[in-house]
């Protein structure tokens, strides 16, 4: 099981025309990957980012894992 620590940290990442943006779903034991566009990215998305440079400023690939929402108690 993966432990995920969420924070309110922000970082500016460049997205080029060659950056691949995807989301994955699993149904009936099958994984499906759907391509997204920059316009599909929203505030509070939980993402994995693979960088194309050692300074970690330009994204090579972005995978949207879901959206964070804080429940009020």
CA distances from 12 to 51, 57, 66, 72 (A): 12, 7, 19, 28
Q: Is 29 left (phi over 0), alpha (psi -120 to 50) or beta?
A: left
pLDDT in tens, 19-61: 999 998 888 999 899 999 999 999 888 899 999 989 889 999 9
Do the beta carbons of residue 62 and residue 48 sit within 8 Å?
yes
pLDDT at 69: 76
């Amino acid at each position: 099981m993966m432990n995920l620590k969420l924070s309110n940290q922000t970082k500016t990442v460049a997205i080029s025309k060659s950056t691949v943006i995807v989301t994955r779903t699993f149904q009936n034991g099958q994984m499906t990957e759907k391509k997204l566009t920059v316009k599909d990215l929203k505030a509070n998305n939980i993402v994995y980012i693979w960088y194309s440079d050692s300074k970690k400023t330009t994204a090579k690939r972005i995978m949207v894992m879901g959206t964070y929402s804080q429940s009020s108690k």
